[in-house]
Amino acid sequence: MSAEAFPSGAAAVVGAATFGIGTSPGFNSFDLAAHASIRALAQAGLTPRDVDGLAIVVMDDTMGVLNFAEYLGIHPRYVDNTRTGGSSFQLHAANAAYALAAGRCDVVLIAYGSDQRSAAGKLVSSSRPSPWESPYRPLRPISSYALAAARHMHEFGTTKRQLGEVAIAARRWAQLNPEATMRGELTMEDYLAVRMVADPFGARDCCLVTDGAAAVVMVRAERARELNPGAAYVLGAAHETTHREIAQMASLTVSGTAAAARRAFALAGVTPADIDVVELYDAFTINTILFLEEMGFCDRGAGGRFVSDGAIAPGGILPVNTNGGGLSCVHPGMYGLFTLVEASQQIMGVCEARQVAGAELAISHGNGGELSSEGVLVLGNADAATRRRKSGAG
Amino acid sequence: MHPEQEFQAFLEQGKFMLQRSRSSGAYVFYPRIAEPVTGAIDLEWVEASGRGTVYSTTVIRQKPPKTDYNLALIDLQEGPRLMSRVQSVPPVDVKIGMRVRAVIVREEDRALVVFEPAS
């Protein structure tokens, strides 16, 4: 395989915002995305007029980037409408870093919005049904992840209570986030008492169905220093696609996250031990356990033990999903861009009650399909980016 | 070769068929026009042994009067894995590692491969 010349530290997130988390009746997906976009641009003193690179996917429009450019009234030189499900946004950010470094554009806006809770009241699928799976009435995507959880339990002895630790940690972070959808107390007893949906999952193992929007603005490093001293620099980025349908996944306990993380860490010149905060795609409780293992925060199979005793909750050893995650904060069809917003905001130091003190290095992870397509971004503050550029990377 | 149509036509005749590459000898499921990875287009239909092992399993829970049902991934003896269900035992009694055998049933006016415990 050829060596990748990723422009490490050459592009940064200078604005990162959300809008309409929870229930936002009366707005369509583009209204919501536009709200988040204008907020994110304003953080860097920019308006849509300044945007010449645009990336967006929405659940209900395969050519969404055209509609959104039109909505904003811009004629972007660079667009990205790549759809890999919930990991699309990590791919958009990686592509944007290259596009900025190559001079294809100067300001990239990456946006997402969904009105699925108000419009449909349930998860909206954007995939065609499978002739090989549909006759067996899978409850996609829940049953696919339930099969992965059952396998993890079988191979490694992971327990239902350990899945519960993930849900409870997410809820405790959500309680520190005024925007989060679910902020009520969640005890292990509550968690275990909830009705089963697809064994071993109950409702509290599954992500929320909400409305919501997110947006980030990326520019080259020179401009980032002027626009936002707290900017979050993209130090490493990698993506790995392995399958679409869960039956085609070689091992249900190894997703593409392992390979993507390995490459992203190498490009960033850091290791898991250096990371201050992890924002990963927790569509289901098993995801957090599996992805922490795969990114190297614990050994393979040890994720259930790793998350126990509040280790990833506020005050624990590793802050994970500090906004409350897809489980307790927001999950409007696709959650991937929210991990990038939260990771960026943690680097910027603007997270108030849930701020991780001194956060210099953060992970934004995205998961698409059914453990199908995984993206990992390593973000760092200005000091980390300077160190990386001086070390001769990129 | 028209993979999906031919697979279903065999199934309607009571035959659960897999594709196999003449050059590599490897089995392929779901049916397609070329062997994954190699791209070999020398696939032929061969009858599956019907023997398999449960790789993973879940119970889809429903509100009464609808009933819970099993959903499973089955590793076929020939190698490929497929989604199916294990029937003729309560859904919660289907366990990972359980040996199963294929049976063809009719559902919604089409033939379908499901599994039952071997033995």
Residues of B in Cβ contact (< 8 Å) with A245? 83
Please tell me the distance in Å from B34's CA to the nearest CA on chain A: 16
Are A198 and B71 within 8 A, CB to CB? yes
Q: Give mean pLDDT, residues A57-70.
A: 94
Distance, CA of A20 to CA of A31 (rounded, Å): 10
* pLDDT tens string A300-332: 999 999 999 999 999 999 999 999 999 999 999
* Complex confidence, ipTM: 0.97
Are B58 and A196 within 8 A, CB to CB? no
Tell me chain B's radius of gyration from C-alpha atoms.
15
Q: Is B30 on the interface with A (CB under 8 A)?
A: yes
pLDDT at position A119, please? 87
Residues of A in Cβ contact (< 8 Å) with B30? 132, 248
Please tell me the distance in Å from B27's CA to the nearest CA on chain A: 14
Please tell me the distance in Å from B82's CA to the nearest CA on chain A: 5
Phi, psi for residue B108 in degrees, rounded to 5: 50, 45
Low-confidence ranges of chain B (pLDDT < 70): none
Q: Is the pLDDT of residue A394 over 50?
A: no
Nearest to A143 among B4, B60, B110 (CB): B60
* pLDDT tens string A207-219: 999 999 999 999 9
Are B56 and A132 within 8 A, CB to CB? no
* pLDDT tens string A170-185: 999 999 999 999 999 9
pLDDT at position A145, please? 98
CB A362 within 8 A of CB A275: yes
Quickly count: other Cβ atoms within 10 Å of residue A336's Cβ.
Answer: 29
Q: Give mean pLDDT, residues A88-117.
A: 97
Q: Is the pLDDT of residue A156 over 70?
A: yes
Q: Is the pLDDT of residue A141 over 90?
A: yes
For an interface test with A, the pick among B56, B61, B110, B114 (most A C-beta atoms closer than 10 Å) comes out as B56
pLDDT at position A120, please? 77
pLDDT, chain A, mean: 96
Phi, psi for residue B3 in degrees, rounded to 5: -55, -55
Q: Is B2 on the interface with A (CB under 8 A)?
A: no
